[in-house]
Chains A and B, each alone.
Chain A
Amino acid sequence: MFYYLVRRLASVVVMLFLITGTTYALFFATPLDPAKYTCGRNCTPAILEGNRKALGYDQPPYVQYGKFVAGLFVGRDYPDNAQLRADHPEQIVHCPAPCLGYSPSQSRTINSMVADAWPISISIAIGAFVLWMIVGVGGGIIAALNRGRWPDRIIVGLALIGFSVPTFFIGLILLTFVAIKWGLLPIPRYHPFGANPIEWAQNLILPWITLACIFAASYVRLTRAYMIETMSEDYIRTAQSKGQTKWRIIFRHGLRAALTPIVTAAGLDLGGLLGGAIITESVFSLHGLGFTAVSSVTNMDLPVIVAMVMIVSAFIVLANLFVDIAYGFIDPRVKLVS
């Protein structure tokens, strides 16, 4: 178990290097000039070159990547200029390790941007997760137990709709009607959970519903399929022949076994969303990680793009690891050995 963890964590690190390296490579493969985006309207070649140098874009990509990696471990100074440090130390921004980088367009370190954005993304992801797990798994169980009858058809039909309607459409409809026209809920703005949990929840209900819709739909189908499969297993018949009650057979025997693949999917989906829900955050203008990622791409803000890619992929890779470890506890047949 211990060696398994060590081995897996090592592969996580390798994976993150590969992903960030690839991101750098892809960024420099584009014909666009990132320095141009920092230059503004009255751009002169002199300012352009100055900015390019200040941002380090004049150096070869592998040097830039090396500095990025070094910053992760020891921190960085922006701009990294010994002359300036000696003359005007107050103009230097220090970014302590693990330094994700510095955004010239926002004039702040990416770490501080993430610190602001992350609580928003986590709030959205976890609330939506709880909602879709309850609705999706519950709906899937009901559909499976009524297979072929009207509750099944209604649930599967709704799931199909939930799956087909685009997230931004659901978001805009909810925003327009529930928040703006009917005024049932506030127009979502982020309030920290610690300050006022009720306000936090009220403001996030619409994003939660919006994000949960598509996931609930796919979890209905997933749960339904696995429940139907496990409920036809021999061990269900054994439980019946013991005289076990219907509901215990469904939950203790059927759902228990059907849960394994559901937990896998749930772990991976939640992991992906912790790195930001791009569409939902954009629709409701909630400045989470997803929103940050979108604006960094439109601004050609390389350091932010790399940091966002790294955060998202770190969550996914770690979620993968977490799910694999959880497997060892959920399914006694799985042993974690390296």
Chain B
Amino acid sequence: MTNTNELEPTPVELLESKGTRVTRGQTSAAPDKFLRIEDLHVHFPTDDGLVKAVDGLTFDLEKGTTLGIVGESGSGKSVTSLAVMGLHRGTRARVSGHIWLDGEDLLQVSDEELRGLRGRKMAMIFQDPLSALHPYYTIGAQLTEAIQVHEKVSKKAAKTTVVDMLGRVGIPNPEKRYDQYPHEFSGGMRQRAMIGMALINNPELLIADEPTTALDVTVQAQILDLMRDLQAEFGSAIIMITHDLGVVAEIANDVLVMYGGRCVEYAEVDDLFHQPDHPYTWGLLSSMPRLDRLKQDRLVPVAGNPPSLINVPPGCAFNPRCAFKEFSPRPCNVDDPALLESYPKHDSRCHIPVPKRAEIFTERVAPKL
């Protein structure tokens, strides 16, 4: 469906006004997608009010493909990934919606079932491997634990698997490294060990929460190569959480741009880079340094600060920072735009009419990139 210039609410908007924010077809029963997140809300009650960290997020993912989730700090990326892993259980967070993994709604399964899925069917790579690895156990022990939680295997057999995995993620001398502690590893090696730990049971879904943020660029490239190779080998679905569009361009098939706990743009990776359709995405692109241009204007940061998730600005959450809101036919600080399909398989959340947006991008944004 294509958004036209009409100001009447579209059918999808009508649906939305009733609180269902759904794009690309609505599913009421278990979908045939490998992973489908539908209308996910993660709210944290705090003393200052309700923090809506994730507020109505919908996306899906097939095996063997990668979804990049992009956004600045506090946009709800990590909270989304923790929700998929079920790591909000037992905390104050209120999670609602649906997370279907292979036909099973993870928000409905028992704790014990969920525990059986964690680390086996789905696994997570954390951002800071130094704090995510236990300082008192050797790398070998921690990877072995990941196997033995799910399978009754002898220590010896587990060790063989672990040493093999450490070698596969590119850790030299894995036999020796097996008996070392996390603090004896370099940052890049730690992250490799962390990736090895996530992959040790060949998970079908791999969530990587900024796996390369703490690393320097050469190591970053190696880690991304590694993940791509491993995906080719195991056919896993990957959710890559990052604030780095470069990483997304490198590895993702689809991209979801988050802002203030919501999706503002969702597209295939080529479409997103060739025809970005949301002012926030433009901002992200303009603030990204590029080495393939001979001459580039100064980088333009996105003005202002991320929105408070307690007092989200009325209307479009991005409107206080938006440089193009004068093109909107509607009052951006009053009306909340819906997530609509601008082009086939390309959704975005903006009041500015699609042709106008295309025009703004071509004439005003693209030349400066």
Chain A positions near chain B (C-beta within 8 angstroms): 233-235, 237-245, 253, 256-257, 330-333
Report the nearest B residue to A240, measured CB to CB.
B87
- Having A244-B119, A332-B136, one finds 13 other A-B pairs with CB under 8 Å, namely A235-B133, A237-B87, A237-B132, A238-B133, A238-B134, A240-B85, A241-B118, A241-B119, A244-B115, A257-B134, A332-B135, A332-B138, A332-B183
Contact A257 B135 (CB under 8 A): yes
| Chain A residues positioned under 8 Å from B132 (CB to CB) | 234-235, 237-238
Q: How far apart are the CA atoms of A237 and B85 in the complex, in Å?
A: 10
Known: A240-B118, A243-B115, A244-B145. A235 touches B135 (CB 8 A): yes
Contact A256 to B136, CB < 8 A, known contacts A243-B116, A333-B181: yes
B218 contacts the other chain (CB 8 A) = no
Q: List 5 A-B contacts (CB under 8 A).
A: A233-B131, A235-B131, A241-B87, A243-B146, A244-B119
Closest 10 CB pairs of A and B: A243-B119, A243-B118, A242-B119, A234-B131, A235-B134, A234-B132, A241-B124, A242-B146, A238-B132, A332-B181
B119–A257 touching, CB < 8 Å: no
Are B134 and A243 interface neighbours, CB within 8 A? no
Cβ of B150 within 8 Å of any chain A Cβ, yes or no, is yes
Cα A244 to Cα B137 with chains together (Å): 15
With A240-B87, A243-B119 known to touch, is A333 a contact of B183 (CB < 8 Å)? Answer: yes
* Least Cβ–Cβ distance between B8 and chain A, in angstroms: 46
Query: Which of A237, A243, A331 is the one whose CB lies under 8 Å from B149?
Result: A243
Question: What is the count of residue pairs linking A and B with beta-carbon distances less than 8 angstroms?
Answer: 70
- B124 — which chain A residues lie within 8 A by C-beta? 241
Answer yes or no: B128 CB below 8 A from chain A CBs: yes
Interface centre among A235, A241, A256 (most CB of B within 10 A): A241
Distance A239 CA – B117 CA, assembled complex (angstroms): 13
Chain B residue nearest in CB terms to A235: B134
Task: Please state if A242 and B181 are interface contacts (CB–CB under 8 Å).
Answer: no
User: Which residues of B come within 8 Å of A, CB atoms?
Assistant: 82, 85, 87, 115-120, 123-124, 126, 128, 131-136, 138, 145-146, 149-150, 181, 183, 197
Closest residue of chain B to A253 (Cβ to Cβ) is B134
Contact A242 B145 (CB under 8 A): yes
- In the complex, which of the residues B133, B135, B149, B181 contacts A244, with contact meaning CB atoms closer than 8 Å? B149
Is B117 touching A243 in the complex (CB atoms < 8 A)? yes
Of the candidates A238, A331, A332, A333, the one whose C-beta lies within 8 Å of that of B126 is A238
Q: How far is the CA of A330 from the CA of B135 in the complex (A)?
A: 11
A234 to B132: give the CA distance in the assembly, Å: 5
Which A residues are in CB contact (< 8 Å) with B87?
237, 240-241
Are B131 and A242 in touch, CB under 8 angstroms? no
Please indicate the chain B residues that have their CB under 8 angstroms from the CB of A330 in the complex. Answer: 136
B101 to chain A: closest CB distance in Å?
14
Residues on the A chain within 8 Å of B82, using CB: 237
A332 to B138, CA, bound (A): 9
Please state if A234 and B117 are interface contacts (CB–CB under 8 Å): no
Q: How far is the CA of A233 from the CA of B131 in the complex (A)?
A: 7
Bound complex: CA A182 to CA B118 (Å): 57
A residues less than 8 Å from B115 (CB atoms): 243-245
A241 and B123: CB pair below 8 A? Answer: yes
Instruction: Return chain B residues, CB-CB under 8 Å to A333.
Output: 135, 181, 183
| Whole-angstrom distance between the Cβ of B187 and the nearest chain A Cβ | 15
Question: Which A residues are in CB contact (< 8 Å) with B128?
Answer: 234
Query: Closest residue of chain B to A242, judged by CB?
Result: B119
Separation of A235 and B119 alpha carbons in the complex (Å): 14
Q: Which partner residue on chain B sits nearest A259 by CB separation?
A: B136
- Tell whether, in the assembled complex, residue B197 and residue A237 are in contact, meaning their CB atoms are under 8 Å apart: no
CA distance A253 to B141 in the complex (A): 12
Cα distance A244–B87 in the bound complex, in angstroms: 12
Q: Which residues of B contact A256 (CB under 8 A)?
A: 134, 136
Residues of B within 8 A of A253 (CB): 134
**Measured between alpha carbons, how far is A233 from B116 in the docked complex, in Å?**
22
- Interfacial chain B residues near A241, Cβ < 8 Å: 85, 87, 118-119, 123-124, 126
A242 to B149, CA, bound (A): 8
Measured between beta carbons, the chain B residues less than 8 angstroms from A234 are 126, 128, 131-132
- Bound complex: CA A256 to CA B145 (Å): 15
Interface centre among B115, B116, B183, by most chain A C-beta atoms within 10 angstroms, is B115
Select one of B120, B136, B138 contacting A331, CB under 8 A.
B136
Task: Give Cα A44–Cα B134 distance, bound, in whole angstroms.
Answer: 74
Q: Could you say which residues of chain A place their CB within 8 Å of the CB of B133?
A: 235, 238
Most buried by A among B149, B183, B197: B149
> How far apart are the CA atoms of A235 and B182 in the complex, in Å?
12
Are A242 and B136 in contact, CB atoms less than 8 angstroms apart?
A: no
Write the nearest CB–CB distance from A123 to chain B, whole angstroms.
Answer: 34
Q: Which residue of A lies closest to B198 (CB)?
A: A241
* A257 to B182 alpha-carbon distance, docked (Å): 14
Q: With a CB–CB cut-off of 8 A, which chain B residues contact A235?
A: 131-135
In the bound assembly, the distance between CA atoms of A231 and B133 in angstroms comes to 13
Q: How far is the CA of A36 from the CA of B117 in the complex (A)?
A: 82
Alpha-carbon gap, A83 to B197, bound state (A): 82
| Residues on the A chain within 8 Å of B135, using CB | 235, 257, 331-333
Closest to B85 in A: A241
| Distance A241 CA – B120 CA, assembled complex (angstroms) | 9
Alpha-carbon gap, A241 to B121, bound state (A):
11
Give the shortest distance, in Å, between A149 (CB) and chain B (any CB).
Answer: 13
Q: Tell me the bound Cα distance from A205 to B89 in angstroms.
A: 44
Instruction: Name the residue on B nearest A257 (C-beta).
Output: B136
Distance of A245 Cα from B116 Cα, bound (Å): 9
Q: Which residues of A contact B136 (CB under 8 A)?
A: 256-257, 330-332
